[in-house]
Structure 1
Amino acid sequence: MSMRKRRGFGLVYLFAVALVVLVAFFAYAAWWFHYREVHPKVVAAIPTVYAEEILSEGWLLWHEEILATPYAGKIVYSRPHEAHRVFKGEAVAVIDTGRERIRLASHKAGYFVPGLDGAEGAWRFSEIWLGSGPPKMKAAFKWFENGHALKRGDPIGKVVPMPQNLRCIAFVAATPDVRRSVESGRLSIKLMPKGLPLSTEVLASEELVGVYKVYLSLSPYFPPSVLTSRKLSFYVFVGERSGVEVPESSVVMRNGRQGVWVVEGGVTTFRDVHGMPISSGRFVVTEGLKAGEIVIEEGGKAKEGGRVLLW
């Protein structure tokens, strides 16, 4: 065989091999896309109980009185950097005048706080309630240090007389459940995500655009630890809802309706659902879906009447 014929044969052979590979590739790709279409990722709806909570912020109110020193000198606190309970006449600090050490006592029973935030005497219910948003603090709370030199009449801290009710002004999202709670005169809040609900009394309320402004009594809750900040973060607890849980990606909008693609008899069907998204990319369905039903995980890739092979 001549060189020219061998070269021509080689080109034909390479072309034939390339054609076979190309045909095999397209055949495999067609099979793969068909396989993916009839074997989409599916999930089963899991029964769940969801505690509906709304993160909110409030501003605390209490009665307080500044305690001043009648002597000049260096101060030493009995319990520095700590808000603590005291009884009437209990020593909270000692002032060293240079000639003698004099006990400084609380004039009332309650909590003593060895520090101030600058809002004492100016933090009033009327000013906060009449505002349309959160009040602004002029300065952060500051502890007073041991050994600090004071002049006569300088403040050494403040006394919060007890007993008294801790009160709070807060802005809360005006959902239907919150509206019912406010109208009933009681609002349940949780101070920690995993804590127990605290039933508070609604002393006053005003509905604004999309939110409720509420004035709450937090009694009997009033630990001394809250006295170093006038701001309180909490969760409004509006109850528990039972339903089923699916990935948030399963829930799609179709023609203005919210729903999921349910696999029934090997065929996908769009079904309307009601519910709410929760943390970690999950969605709680409260109406429209039962536990154990199979839905398409990536709802945006499904279509009406699509065939699905589960096995």
Structure 2
Amino acid sequence: MNARAETLERAVRGRSLWRDALVRLRANRAAIASLAVLGVIVAACVAGPWFSPHDHFTQDYGAIWVEPGLTDAHWFGTDSLGRDLFVRALEGGRMSLLIGLVATLVSLVIGVVYGATAGYLGGRVDGVMMRIVDILYAMPFLFFVILLMVFFGRNILLIFVAIGAINWLDMARIVRGQTLALKGQPFIEAARMAGAPAPAIIARHIVPNLLGVVAVYITLTIPQVILFESFLSFLGLGVAEPATSWGALIKDGADEMGRAPWLLVVPAVLLAATLFCFNFIGDGLRDALDPKDR
């Protein structure tokens, strides 16, 4: 009797929004397959170089232009300096993923705080804050990055700052729009009538209700940042030797495409697979968290 009552209680109780989103996400085969593939790529980039006898910067002039082969010591071949492409591709992936995550985190923190504050306060404060965003949007970003590189040199911290300092603009606009829709809800009015200060309302009531939109946007921002870093590296403005990234490897591979096509194919395939995975995961999260499709 108790077991039957518990079953009926669970049937009546239903599911929360997040639990329902998890169930819907699991039913999305493309998103789940992308999660699995992305997990393999990330694990390989993080741990793969430790299990290889080679490193990403040692030059071996006795093993120049070695073609890929599973029976050879260099699975993905070598470049013009005899460096192992397998380790370099994984090291490049580690760098590209790190840049994507850190720059996205920077843009997330700045964009959420800025957008939520502008949307909640409204009025003249909102107008001034969003005009600042419009002015920053009008700046030529590539010119801004080139100036930073000229004055401060090429280093990985500068790339984090440069990319993260611009990407927060989109996040701020999205969060501001969602905040404008939320601040008129009854639970916000109740918190305001109870005497809660604006920072507490933003932190405890506004931001938690934006997590769904922010989670989807994060999965779309990370590949955007990775692709932009690859573009900068392809132009010679990205990471400097001996460090490498997928963009820098693609640039080197494009220069040697006629002599050694594997130098271009390997990093390009890894980059494309990662970008596709993030986009499929983002689409899956968007569909799972959309209340209109429940």
TM-score by structure 1 length?
0.23
Structure having the higher Rg: 1
Higher RCO structure (Cα 8 Å, ≥6 apart): 2
TM-score by structure 2 length?
0.24
